[in-house]
Chain A
Amino acid sequence: MSRMPALALLAPAAWLAACSGEQSALAPRGSDAAWIADLAWLLFGGGGVVLAMVIAALVLSIRGPPAIRARLARPATMVAAGLFFPIVVLSSLLAYSLWLTGLTLPVADTGHVLRIEVTGEQWWWRVDYVRPDGSRVASANELHIPVGQRIDIVLRSADVIHSFWVPRLGGKVDMIPGRTTRLQLHAEEAGVYRGQCAEYCGGAHALMAIEVVAVPATAFEAWLARQAEPAVVPASERGRRGQDLFIAAGCGACHAVRDTSAAVIGPDLTHFGSRRSIGGAMLPMSEQNAARFIADGQYVKPGNRMPPFRIFSDDELAALSAFLVALR
């Protein structure tokens, strides 16, 4: 018996430990996420106070002194505590949350700022950066934003309903086929923030993740300029062999590598090697992992739409991976 209270104290501690990670709504790193976290804490706290008041009233009405019980039983008390109090509290909460929602919604599209379009597809994220001059830069499965700015994110879906949620940077908004929804992301400090599809969208839904990389504004501009360039020409003999394989094996039938192929079925790989991860935050970027995804992608991310290419020799697979990872 003596160990039970200790365990009971430890259990919530272990549970809370999971909330400090790179994907926790309780550890916000942006104004929007912070507002939402504040609202959550207000609800937890306020709910706790109301619960305490109800329990106190319950105890007093059974065991309390006769004078207090008589007071509790008065019609005026019931109207005040049972009708007036909830109406005031819930109405003010509603007003507060509506005001907060308005804060987190992007202002009308002015066209003068950077806009990022994210399209949910089974089971990855297509990312397009639309610059103020209208030029588009295609990427996938990783989102770069400048620190300290509120960035407009335009959300679409190519197939079924997905939901875009980067808990430490902003709210959660559904991506609905045939509609365009919007969201703002704001990062106060540089870092990598994980996001996750938050609406069940089929087989590999649980593995549909995205990493948001927040960097200082100047670094972001440099990064975007590099992303806008065509793919680097392979420098090594192995890389050139990999490029030949990329074309001959038909990789370019689904994946764009600008100046080599222009397909739009799968993720754009023009600057594949500059990303942190492979397969949508599934595996860290490395040649071995690229090879693994090409040949055994159905084990890495079961159900994903890319067929497994188990036709390459080890040499060929290594050359192909070397070519891809060198695409920085």
Chain B
Amino acid sequence: MERRLPRRLARWSDLLIVTGVLVVCGFLIAWSGVYNVAASRGHWPIVERLLAFSMRNSVEARANFVGSPPRFSPDLVRLGAAHFHGGCAYCHGAPGQPSGQVAQHMLPPPPDMAVVASHWNERELFWIVKHGIKYTGMPAWVSQTRDDEVWAVVAFLRQISALDPQIYRELAVGDLEIAVPSGRDLATREAATEAVSACGRCHGAEAHGPKSRLVPVLHGQTSEFLMISLGDYAAGRRESGIMQPIAAALNLAEMRKVASYYAALDPPRAAARDPADADAVERGRLLASQGEAHAQIPPCMACHGGTGLDAYPRLVGQSAPYIAGQLRLLRAAVSRRSPAGGIMIPIARRLSDRQIDDVAAFFASFAVREGGEETGQ
């Protein structure tokens, strides 16, 4: 007589029981506080490997959907360097400048970009800078609509490993002289000079203009316009991952001071300029001074020429890449919640790519001579 052996194949009920036990165990571990979340202790090596593996794969997978990078011009690198110095170097360090003591005690400690930047390709760096990384302290870019700014940081990161401290400083801070505060100031003030030095790093100060042509000249703009811009950035109506946090850190009195400081400056002497295409400048001059009625494009100079409202920016003498970049952002309806964006977006949308480049070339063709007099090229 044959004995039947009990056949125990896995059944659904068994699977449910095992899953239930695992969930309960997991909950007990979380509930009991056994797991140590201390940043002072680090991860187990196996956990650390698993986390690094997940992060790398997540970034690599998602970076596939990032568009192709723009050309990394020296202007883009300088803008990226200046922002890196103010926004990133405290945690990541920079050539010749170790990361901050507090940042070194984060978990994971923010890596030295001169070492790790080469571990990622351009689109992966872009994805990380734009979106940040969960659980690491790496924040997302403040404005998710300013890919142009994110690319500036990536352009700089491509070069960071090759920079010695002196070249880095020249790139990030330039010829800006930062006055050493007095002992009394250091002892009694909160760090109020930090913000102003932040302006000058990109926009220049005193007789020096911006060191990247992607950055606007603030010298001689009206203080009304500068106040409106700072207010719009601080409130998030005007979008910029670089300018929003800087403006939001200023109080109204500081905004007034910095606005009237730049308003009182003479236009900086023109740096060496690219030889502009004379035809483009002439086409731009016609469009800027007469508009194009059948395309419903009003003349730029009616508002931006110097007789316009104090709330309007003066565009004469701005660099071509800055104006073209701003017009393309407006055409893409970035900063649509700002009153100025509300006016310019419908107009920018009527401009063709060539018209944008033409008017940019025209405004940039004004050079400033030693005496401070503006002249056409």
Asked if B343 and A248 sit within 8 Å, CB to CB, the answer is no
Partner of B346, one of A247, A264, A307: A307
Is the C-beta of A300 less than 8 angstroms from some C-beta in chain B? no
Report the 4 A-B pairs with minimum CB-CB distance, sorted nearest first. A253-B298, A253-B302, A250-B303, A310-B339
A interface, size bucket: 10 to 19
Is the C-beta of B345 less than 8 angstroms from some C-beta in chain A? yes
> Looking at the complex, which of B210-218, B243-251, B304-312 is the stretch in contact with chain A?
B304-312
Asked if B342 and A307 sit within 8 Å, CB to CB, the answer is yes
Asked if A250 and B342 sit within 8 Å, CB to CB, the answer is no
Is the C-beta of A254 less than 8 angstroms from some C-beta in chain B? yes
In the complex with contacts A248-B308, A249-B303, A253-B303, A264-B343 CB distance below 8 A: no
Q: How far is the CA of A305 from the CA of B346 in the complex (A)?
A: 8
Asked if A252 and B302 sit within 8 Å, CB to CB, the answer is yes
Type the 1/0 row for A288-314, where 1 means its CB is closer than 8 Å to any CB of B.
000000000000000001011111000
Q: Among the interface residues B293, B296, B303, which one has the most CB atoms of the partner chain A within 10 A? A: B296
Type the 1/0 row for B309-324, where 1 means its CB is closer than 8 Å to any CB of A.
1011000000000000
Asked if B293 and A263 sit within 8 Å, CB to CB, the answer is yes
Type the 1/0 row for B246-281, where 1 means its CB is closer than 8 Å to any CB of A.
000000000000000000000000000000000000
Q: How far is the CA of A253 from the CA of B300 in the complex (A)?
A: 8
Residues of chain B within 8 A of A250, CB atoms compared? 298, 302-303, 308-309, 312
20 A-B contacts (beta carbon < 8 Å)? A247-B307, A248-B307, A248-B309, A250-B302, A253-B299, A253-B302, A253-B303, A254-B296, A264-B293, A265-B293, A265-B296, A265-B298, A307-B342, A307-B345, A308-B342, A309-B342, A309-B343, A311-B228, A311-B340, A311-B343
How far, in Å, is B234 (CB) from chain A's closest CB?
17
In the complex with contacts A305-B346, A311-B343, A249-B293 CB distance below 8 A: no
Residues of chain A within 8 A of B309, CB atoms compared? 245, 248-250, 311
Q: How far is the CA of A265 from the CA of B296 in the complex (A)?
A: 5
B interface, size bucket: 20 to 34
How far, in Å, is A162 (CB) from chain B's closest CB?
16
How far, in Å, is A230 (CB) from chain B's closest CB?
20
Residues of chain B within 8 A of A307, CB atoms compared? 342-347
* A-to-B contact residues, CB < 8 Å: 158, 245, 247-250, 252-254, 263-265, 305, 307-311
Q: How far is the CA of A247 from the CA of B347 in the complex (A)?
A: 18
Asked if A305 and B343 sit within 8 Å, CB to CB, the answer is no
Is the C-beta of B108 less than 8 angstroms from some C-beta in chain A? no
Is the C-beta of B87 less than 8 angstroms from some C-beta in chain A? no
Residues of chain A within 8 A of B340, CB atoms compared? 311
Q: How far is the CA of A253 from the CA of B312 in the complex (A)?
A: 14
Q: How far is the CA of A263 from the CA of B294 in the complex (A)?
A: 11
Residues of chain B within 8 A of A249, CB atoms compared? 303, 308-309
Partner of B343, one of A247, A265, A308: A308
Is the C-beta of B291 less than 8 angstroms from some C-beta in chain A? yes
Residues of chain A within 8 A of B345, CB atoms compared? 307
Q: How far is the CA of A125 from the CA of B298 in the complex (A)?
A: 19
Secondary structure of the A contact surface, majority rule: loop
Residues of chain A within 8 A of B346, CB atoms compared? 305, 307
Q: How far is the CA of A170 from the CA of B233 in the complex (A)?
A: 55
Least CB separation from B301: chain A residue:
A253
- With A250-B308, A250-B312, A308-B342 given, name 16 new contacts (CB 8 A): A158-B294, A245-B309, A248-B309, A253-B303, A263-B291, A263-B293, A265-B296, A265-B297, A305-B296, A307-B346, A308-B339, A308-B343, A309-B342, A309-B343, A310-B342, A311-B340
Least CB separation from B295: chain A residue:
A265
Least CB separation from A316: chain B residue:
B309
Asked if B311 and A265 sit within 8 Å, CB to CB, the answer is no
Least CB separation from A309: chain B residue:
B343
Least CB separation from B339: chain A residue:
A310
Q: How far is the CA of A210 from the CA of B343 in the complex (A)?
A: 26
Least CB separation from B345: chain A residue:
A307
Least CB separation from A252: chain B residue:
B302
In chain B, residues 221-249, which have Cβ atoms closer than 8 Å to a Cβ of chain A? 228
How far, in Å, is A67 (CB) from chain B's closest CB?
75
How far, in Å, is A221 (CB) from chain B's closest CB?
31
Q: How far is the CA of A248 from the CA of B225 in the complex (A)?
A: 14
Q: How far is the CA of A309 from the CA of B297 in the complex (A)?
A: 16
Q: How far is the CA of A310 from the CA of B312 in the complex (A)?
A: 13
Q: How far is the CA of A265 from the CA of B299 in the complex (A)?
A: 11
Q: How far is the CA of A129 from the CA of B308 in the complex (A)?
A: 33
Q: How far is the CA of A254 from the CA of B293 in the complex (A)?
A: 8
Q: How far is the CA of A297 from the CA of B298 in the complex (A)?
A: 18
Q: How far is the CA of A264 from the CA of B346 in the complex (A)?
A: 17
Q: How far is the CA of A253 from the CA of B298 in the complex (A)?
A: 5
Least CB separation from B304: chain A residue:
A250
Q: Among the interface residues A158, A253, A308, which one has the most CB atoms of the partner chain B within 10 A? A: A253
Residues of chain A within 8 A of B299, CB atoms compared? 253
Least CB separation from A250: chain B residue:
B303
In chain B, residues 334-351, which have Cβ atoms closer than 8 Å to a Cβ of chain A? 339-340, 342-347
How far, in Å, is B118 (CB) from chain A's closest CB?
47
Type the 1/0 row for B338-371, where 1 means its CB is closer than 8 Å to any CB of A.
0110111111000000000000000000000000
Asked if B343 and A254 sit within 8 Å, CB to CB, the answer is no
Q: How far is the CA of A307 from the CA of B342 in the complex (A)?
A: 6
Asked if A253 and B291 sit within 8 Å, CB to CB, the answer is yes
Q: How far is the CA of A248 from the CA of B301 in the complex (A)?
A: 11
Partner of A265, one of B291, B339, B344: B291
Asked if B339 and A311 sit within 8 Å, CB to CB, the answer is yes
Least CB separation from B307: chain A residue:
A248
How far, in Å, is A255 (CB) from chain B's closest CB?
10
Q: How far is the CA of A250 from the CA of B291 in the complex (A)?
A: 12
Residues of chain B within 8 A of A311, CB atoms compared? 228, 309, 311, 339-340, 343
Least CB separation from B340: chain A residue:
A311
Q: How far is the CA of A231 from the CA of B153 in the complex (A)?
A: 54
